[in-house]
Structure 1
């Protein structure tokens, strides 16, 4: 065989191997998406029912047991959210929305989210900010950094966790440092792979699935924010993220106002549509406790009939995506808006993670929350949707 033929043969083998790896990766992603969907429905019901149960538990032992239940639910939610995020990033349905904001806002958000958790574990917690305005997708950057902090907390039993930043030319280097177990040299090239964990041979689910750094890698590539790591086994690790500074022409639009405290008008009417009776009951219970009057049904037809009988304009629609008989939640939203006006706020609350679901919701200008959501997350999003001024053409586009 000539050298040219041999090279062609090797190239063909390489291409075949790459295609096979891509097929295997796609099959894995589809499996994860399907498995996570089937688990999300009952877990969502447990979240809502646990929240509804809280006010009926009076003694200390009962409250302690309920707290342990909530901790277990939070752990399961974290695992499923990791699976979902890998599926979404691999599907290519996440598009960064660039904005300008100060590094101080990032530091404050991280401090508020993790200070109590770190100190309750006996760790020294430090956040050291710097003076710079960033230009990136705020939500995705925070997700990347939170995964790094979560990782530091998971593997640090003593010492300190420190968030530091430093201006480096036209970039800001944000660094998450810890005094945890460190990473052996032979693992450094693999820590960003799915399901790869250091120091967890027993696969303790309280220490995650090994998806946090895999998500960091994908977000780093999506945002074009390089992530660098240095580590000494037994002494700790430091992950460094490079984020671009906003050019001068953008800095006039920087964000800086404090978030408003969520306030829900207790006279609101909410329309809830979900064909899972337990989820619907839990959702109805939570919204009722928030002061909403609720129309809860399992189909668009029943929802429209109930609204007609009430003779009231709904304030928000919350619907599952996949309903019975091939119907979908966006149909509910469309019909309500056609009758009562396009300004009616709406949410899709679903366990579906496919790109088609996100595309359909986007086409109807409806935000998506993926099950399971905590009652606090749902309340924050409901409040946000009720506050949006939909009289402006760009209201939905600005989300």
Structure 2
């Protein structure tokens, strides 16, 4: 009887976890569409706002929308990790490059709070997925900034026992010993958060994502903390072969704020949401592209009978008429229209979609897409 009860309890727990995963995916998906429109309209509005007060209000709007986008991104991260669609791409790379990126990204945030910010340079080569490791460190840094009212947040790295130990230290609120395991649970928040002024308090998902990613990569994460004195989160990353890292080609990102030239390229924009289609088209035109927009696959094909073929296609995944953006790209290919680049916008997290998109050489951007990310995707970066 005890064994049967245990098996039943385990099945109930699995059903509850599956239901939670479906809820997170559905909630984040349904909220992404209106937020995507708001982000795009705010970006389209920016060039037309004059005067210091107007710019100040627009800046506040941008920060609020970005905070909401971050929250939804974390919901999406949780649902993707639970669905098993995140697959690490492990390679040897110099950790210094990632630490430099983090330094540039978070120095302004620390300065805004009046905190000292330090990142110790490191020339060590590690073996990991640079994107997923970066997400672990970003979550730890954001957590440190959120819970630190004064003092310092620092990131340093040192070799120890055949691995690189990357530490994120802060002089913040600290965590009681009996809470140091609970903080890695979903929606767990410490009530004493000292948030960045004008920022968000978070959903309590950052460390839950860290725990899942650390298990996925087999990079143990530990915490040492004293209430009132701060915390140290450490990630243990395997060392890599420096020669292999030097042989791997490294992408050259555009400089911050640098706008890739559009050169009047033709873009087909397809979305069954009229508001979002208008916002997308308006913003892409502002970047210097020629735009043809449509609300369905059928409308897109009809319009292309009268205009030259597009060089790029930006399409929603679900087009509302029983077809998808992938169906659209396949139909265009059958007509002999092969765009330079296809970009699929979606809130879906399933691995089948990602695999199908990759098979067509199509980029996938998850909603809500920040305008700079879409602009870089259009430019091929």
1:314 corresponds to = 310
Secondary structure in 1 aligned to 2:235? strand
2:85 corresponds to = 93
Q: Deviations over 1:332-380 (max 9, x none)?
A: 1222233346563111111223444334323433221111111112112
CA contact (8 A) 2:173 2:229 kept: yes
CA distance in 2, matches of 1:248, 1:122: 37
Structure 2 residue runs without a partner (length 5+): none
Counterparts in 2 of 1:1-399, with a 5 A limit? 9-199=1-191, 206-247=200-241, 250-255=244-249, 258-261=252-255, 263-310=260-307, 312-340=308-336, 344-384=340-380
CA distance in 2, matches of 1:99, 1:190: 32
CA contact (8 A) 2:174 2:228 kept: yes
CA distance in 2, matches of 1:101, 1:183: 33
CA distance in 1, matches of 2:42, 2:169: 36
Structure 1 residue runs without a partner (length 5+): 1-8, 386-399
CA contact (8 A) 2:317 2:344 kept: yes
CA distance in 1, matches of 2:369, 2:252: 24
Q: Deviations over 1:119-141 (max 9, x none)?
A: 12100000002221122111111
CA drift at 1:278: 0.7
CA contact (8 A) 1:200 1:207 kept: no
CA distance in 2, matches of 1:163, 1:115: 11
Q: Deviations over 1:294-317 (max 9, x none)?
A: 01101122222222311x232211
CA contact (8 A) 2:117 2:153 kept: yes
CA distance in 2, matches of 1:16, 1:23: 11
CA distance in 2, matches of 1:315, 1:342: 8
CA contact (8 A) 2:264 2:289 kept: yes
CA distance in 1, matches of 2:301, 2:87: 34
Compared with structure 1, are the counterparts of its residues 136 and 343 closer, same or farther at alpha carbon in structure 2 (3 Å cutoff)? farther
Q: Deviations over 1:144-199 (max 9, x none)?
A: 11111111111111000000001123311111111111111121111110000112
Provide TM-score, normalisation by structure 2.
0.93
CA distance in 1, matches of 2:306, 2:23: 43
CA contact (8 A) 1:101 1:256 kept: no
**Which has the larger displacement, 337-346 or 143-152?**
337-346
CA distance in 2, matches of 1:105, 1:252: 12
CA drift at 1:13: 2.0
Aligned pairs, how many?
376
CA distance in 2, matches of 1:251, 1:374: 30
CA contact (8 A) 2:173 2:192 kept: no
**Which has the larger displacement, 252-261 or 318-327?**
252-261
CA contact (8 A) 2:128 2:217 kept: yes
CA drift at 1:94: 0.8
